[in-house]
Structure 1
Amino acid sequence: MSVSELEPGLAPGDGVVADPHPLGLYEVFEGRLGPGELLESVRSVLDAGAGDPARAGAVVAHGPDACTVRLDGARVDVRSRPLPHRGPGTLDPVVGDPGEQQVLLSVSGPLTDAVRTLFDALTEDLRQRTRCYTDAEIASIVAGMPLVERYATPEPALSGWALVFRDHYVENSVGFLLGMERAGVDPAWIYALSKGDRTAHRDRVHAWFLRRGYRSDVLDNSVINGTATEAERGHALAVDARVADFVRRAHAAGRKVLVIDDGGLLAQGYGTDGGPSERVDAAIELTVSGLKRIAAAPGQLAVPVLNMARSRLKSRLGYNEIADSCIRRLRAIVPGEKFIGRHVLLLGYGTLGTRAAHALRALGCRVSVVDTDVLALITAAEDGFDTHRTVAEALAHRVPFLVVGSSGGTAIADRDVPLLPDGVLLAGFATKDFAVLTDGHRDARATEIPHVGVVYALPHGATVTVLGDGRSLNLFEYEGIANRGYDAYRAGTLLAAKELCRDLGRFPAGVHLEPVDRIVDEAGLFEAYYARYLASGRCFPAASEHGGDHDAR
């Protein structure tokens, strides 16, 4: 809720703004706060302003659910009350969680500069505290990633590295970065960047990263893909300058810099000689789209890049979880829709599309497949699906209620738009499949449906609905993949980072796949995965039994 100023009621004096009301300023926050955090917030803000003579003379009175500060004849109150239970704020339920509180910050009396400064500082501190994960929630995230916990053993070489991590702001990113800390990366030398997806708890992740001591920003994928608005491009320039400064300062401090990313930073020149940005020292690539960006980037790649995107770990384990999360999100976003027995058109029969097609058929859907690659069509046909070479051909045979995009490219072309049936749902499991609409169609009229997607009225009289925001559907107002589902992939990335930073000289410039598979095999990650999740009985201790410091605050 934004700051509210009501009708003026007092005459202003020197250094005084007219007092609008007994509640001259107020803010309302909602979030999880532990016992004593209101008083802790007030005291930390007052201590930070100890050099201010006016603030130093502030008087604090407090009770179990309220604090009062008297300053310059004004009264600043912070009060809280418990809210009805709304369920856990993390994927796993939390034992001992303090529950949600509603906090009111208000001012009555003259609004001097000192009072307004205090109010603004308390607003910022309370906003971050109420958004931030609690210690109990962080412990639940760590416990939900036991393979990361298992392999996050100290690696001395990491103490000399800085890390730029660009990925989705979800819980498994929190668990991964904590694992990197335990392995030896100083939290003061971690720069986290969100890819800009509307994940469910991105504000909580951002607040916790800042509280932990990381730097945290957004570098939106639309900027990398060239579809950003003017405002997004302006923000990206500022972020790029901050990242470049972070890399420069790391090098000046004698540190090397590792990037873990989807190719966005390397596409901007951070991995090439003579590029527009400060060069990093090594990278780990997480996505196939990132590999394509690296290949298309100007200049010659001058740093080693470990290819997690095409590793056996991601191909054999990761995509099953991604497909599962996409299907779960699809069902949840249209809970009133019937799936069983209905026709679905799936665009792209690659690694993700194959798993999605089988999952949809398991629900009872009748699935047709379109792919431009003949071998993919052969595979789909021999898997028992109807197959077509083009969208036009497929739509001439069937009228689907749902079109699923899993190609990772532009799956619906401008020429296909007039062929779309009225009322069809478009679900993108990979970004860009429906960019012909989401990037702005000259003849389509768009109407947003909050929490669902965008309805497009098309020139031929049909209306179609793009579910979500045109990006990967499993990341639209959702947490994406379950922590235990991505645990192995995050653990493999951690293992790759440890070896790359420990023995950088063994890796020449270029993209490397074989070392990733070797690192995973030598660490016994598949054995540990099977033992932890699939074998009968528990074969090694759960994460919570390893101990360790997971303090969130």
Structure 2
Amino acid sequence: MESIVQLDQHIASDIERGTFEAFQCQGEPEQLIEAIVQTLDIFFTASDWEVSRGLSHVVFSHKSCEITIAAKSADAKRTAVSSPFAARHQMTDIMIISRNSDAISNQAYLLAVDFLRVYCSSYSSDEVDLIRGGFPLLASVSAQHNFESDNVALIFRDHFLEDNLGFLLSCKDSGINPRWIFALSKGDRTLKRDRIASYLKSLHFNVGLFDNAAFDSKAFDENTSSVYGLIEQFVLQAKAAGRRVILIDDGALMPMVFGQRQHLIDFTIELTIIGIKRLSKLASLSMPILDLARSKLKTALVYPEISDACFRRVRHMLGDEKFSGRTVIIAGYGNAGRPLAQKFRSIGCQVVVVDVHKIPLICAAEEGFRTFSSLRAALEQHKPMLVVGCSGEVSIGAEDLDLIPNGCYLTGIATRDLSEINKNLGKQQIVNIPGFGNEYRLAGGRVFYQLGDGRSVNLFESDSIPNKAGDIFRSAVLILLASGIRTPEKFCTGINLNQVDDVLLESGIYDAYYETYLEQAGSPK
């Protein structure tokens, strides 16, 4: 058997030929090689490969071909979970090398590479423990419920964020078999979306992408059509198995897609106001909709956190810009726009508020902001350095683009806010800036910049709000899930808002939240 020194020589020669892939993973080299072999050994043995192992490498041989996987200690570092108290853990560099390849070994090599990519990008047990530790309320609520005997199938469609990973793991802890959970990403470029998907797949969750951009454009692309077929198959299998199908949705796309077959879903928990607006426009609803989006809990405790995340993300992306004294337009003075306007004013910005509805416009004016009932009217009198869409509807329309000043930055809290911009500019006028957004070049040499990818700026290559800040919201979702399963008589067909507020108040979650985070000044218990 070759020594590690000899393996390193082979690695050097194979790197020159380009037949290798390199990864990094948390753990000790010997332990990782053992875990990798246990998985891949089944495939290679079945395919008549010979396997020879060392402490930190394994060689799969087939005739004159070899595939080597070698592991070597790397510098210890903190896990990817953002915590100032996270311990440093041993890291390992893993390399896979293919020599003397033929068609059979090329296929085996690609399979092993795909496996290692998923294996190394997934969360480690230490990282998962840290994530779980960020949700003390959710852990407590999960411990109070056991859905194992309730015959439940769950479709979950939301951003792939760590707080949602914590929620899905809590559903698993509460007795819902991952086989009966379909987790769907919305397509936003959240920071850890690939790692979350890999980890969920490793636990045998059903995982897919149902991009809300397909709905906004009123056209299903091939990928969306494919995943819709998988969702329909999942629902029909669940019904055939005598299971109730429950939907947790961010945007109300699923009930609208099912159309006249809404009855296949027993009830929905809707998380967003745009989702409630979409549902309200339907001719009829044949199931209960639990309206968490407009609940007192989300209005008072969650929207300020979302605004704060947007504020921090914008400041980070515009790190070398001056803010104090400069004009910022906030288009929409609702649950998210109001705290965002106050934050920009707190750092010395001249904040202008736009809203098409008179009550929020009156509130903004009486709180000392300059106000306008249209963005165009505001742009005719002000030259902002930043415009933030906060309405949850189209905030910046095609009719406004000719008044956007040179060098201005545009961004939004929801996908709909900026949805009209790209429709009115050709691709030749857009230059992508990796990690930042787009530069838009207009006639006469004028340019403006879009922060992010045209969707929620707090989700652009970020993990949005801190896990502990999302603890009460994810706990509320689990409480409503349990109430809808155990006490369905509390909810009527159609949109239920007051009932949601009553269930959350009766659950004791507010007392638990206060006692956990706010009862004493200082660190939470």
2:10 aligned partner: none
Q: How many Å separate the matches in 2 of 1:148 and 1:363?
A: 34
**CA distance in 1: counterparts of 2:498 and 2:462, whole angstroms:** 33
Q: 1:223-234 alignment to 2 at 5 Å?
A: 223-226=214-217, 233-234=221-222
User: Does the 8 Å contact 1:344/1:366 carry over to 2?
Assistant: yes
8 Å CA contact 2:78–2:87 kept in 1: the answer is no
Of 288, 292, 298, 2:277 maps to 292
> Deviation string for 1:323-363 (max 9, x for gaps)?
01001100111111111221111111111000100111112
> 1:241 corresponds to which residue?
229
2:506 paired with 1:514: no
2:76 maps to 1:76: no
Checking the alignment, whether the CA contact within 8 Å between 1:147 and 1:528 is kept in structure 2 is: yes
Q: The residue matched to 1:351 in structure 2 has which SS?
A: coil
2:512 maps to 1:528: yes
Listed one character per residue, the Cα deviations across residues 381-427 of structure 1 (whole Å, up to 9, x for unaligned) are 11111111222221232211111110111112222111111000112
Letter in 2 for 1:437: I
C-alpha distance in 2, partners of 1:463/1:86? 42
Match of 1:27 among 21, 25, 32: 21
Letter matched to residue 211 of structure 2: D
Q: Which amino acid aligns with 1:45?
A: L
Deviates more, 1:312-321 or 1:499-508: 499-508
Residue of structure 2 in register with 1:62 after alignment: 54
1:181 aligns with 2:172: yes
Q: 1:476 to 1:412 in 2, by over 3 A?
A: same
Whether contact under 8 Å (1:426, 1:465) holds in the other structure is yes
Change (3 A) 1:359 1:109: same
8 Å Cα contact 2:238-2:245 kept in structure 1: yes
Give the drift of 1:454.
Answer: 0.3
Percent pairwise identity? 32
Distance 1:477 1:370 in 2: 28
Q: Deviations along 1:228-265, whole A, 9 cap, x unmatched?
A: 6xxx6110000000011011111111111111012444
Paired amino acid for 1:295: S
User: Given the superposition, is the C-alpha separation of residues 47 and 224 from structure 1 closer, same or farther in structure 2, using an over 3 Å criterion?
Assistant: same
Shift in Å, 1:438? 3.0
Q: By how many angstroms is 1:117 displaced?
A: 3.6
Contact 1:343 1:400 in 2 (8 A): yes
Task: Give the equivalent residue in structure 1 for 2:240.
Answer: 252
Contact 1:420 1:462 in 2 (8 A): no
Residues 476 and 379 (structure 1 numbering): CA distance in 2 closer, same or farther, change over 3 Å? same
Per-residue deviation at 1:38?
2.4
CA distance in 2, matches of 1:221, 1:288: 15
Partner of 1:41: 36
Q: 1:77-98: CA deviations, max 9, x gaps? A: 1123345566531122564553
Matched residue type, 2:22:
V
- For the structure 1 residues 207 and 443, does the alpha-carbon distance in structure 2 shift closer, same or farther, using more than 3 Å as the test? closer
Q: Is 2:215 aligned against 1:217?
A: no
Matched, 1:280 2:265: yes
Contact 2:412 2:418 in 1 (8 A): yes
**Residue identity in the other structure for 2:418:** F
Instruction: Report the counterpart of residue 199 of structure 1 in structure 2.
Output: 190
Structure 2 residue 387 is the aligned partner of structure 1 residue 403: yes
**CA shift in 2, pair 1:209/1:392, >3 Å:** same
Give the deviation of 1:30 after TM superposition. Answer: 3.3
Q: State the alpha-carbon separation in 1 of the partners of residues 217 and 148 from structure 2.
A: 34
After superposition, residues 420-499 of structure 1 pair within 5 angstroms as 420-442=404-426, 445-499=429-483
State the distance in 2 between where 1:97 and 1:135 align. 14
CA RMSD of aligned residues (A): 2.4
Per the normalisation by structure 1, the TM-score is 0.87
Gaps of 5+ in 1: 1-19, 543-553
2:254 is aligned with what amino acid?
A: L
Which amino acid counterpart does residue 119 of structure 1 have in structure 2? Y
- Per the alignment, residue 3 of structure 1 pairs with none
Paired AA for residue 475 in structure 2? A
Give SS of 2:323's match. coil
Offset at 1:24?
7.3
Counterpart selection for 1:148 from 138, 148, 155: 138
In 2, the alpha carbon distance for the partners of 1:93 and 1:34 equals 23
**Is contact 1:34–1:98 with CA below 8 Å preserved after alignment?**
no
Which of 1 and 2 has higher RCO (CA within 8 Å, sep 6+)? 1
| 3-state SS, counterpart of residue 491 of structure 1 | helix
In the alignment, the residues of structure 2 paired with residue 244 and residue 161 of structure 1 have an alpha-carbon distance, to the nearest angstrom, of: 16
Counterpart AA for 2:488: L
1:443 to 1:495, Cα distance in 2 relative to 1, 3 A: closer
CA displacement at 1:71 relative to structure 2: 2.5
Counterpart residue type for residue 43 of structure 1 = Q
CA shift, 1:506, in A, is 4.1
1:134 matched residue in structure 2: 124
Relative to 1, partners in 2 of residues 1:396 and 1:82: Cα closer, same or farther, differing over 3 Å? farther
Give the corresponding residue for 2:331. Answer: 347
The 8 Å contact of residues 22 and 107 in structure 1, kept in 2 or not, is answered as: no
Cα distance in 2, alignment partners of residues 143 and 269 from structure 1: 36
CA contact (8 A) 2:330 2:388 kept: yes
Task: Work out the CA distance in 2 between the residues paired with 1:534 and 1:409.
Answer: 34
1:245 counterpart letter in structure 2: Q
What secondary structure, in the 3-state scheme, does the structure 1 residue paired with 2:293 have?
coil
Distance in 1, matches of 2:103 and 2:452, equals 46
Post-superposition Cα deviations, 1:189-239, rounded to whole Å, max 9, x if no partner, equal 1110000000001000000010111011110010121266xxx61100000
Normalising by the residue count of structure 2, what TM-score does the alignment of the two structures yield?
Answer: 0.91
Q: Is the 8 A contact 2:20 2:98 kept in 1?
A: yes
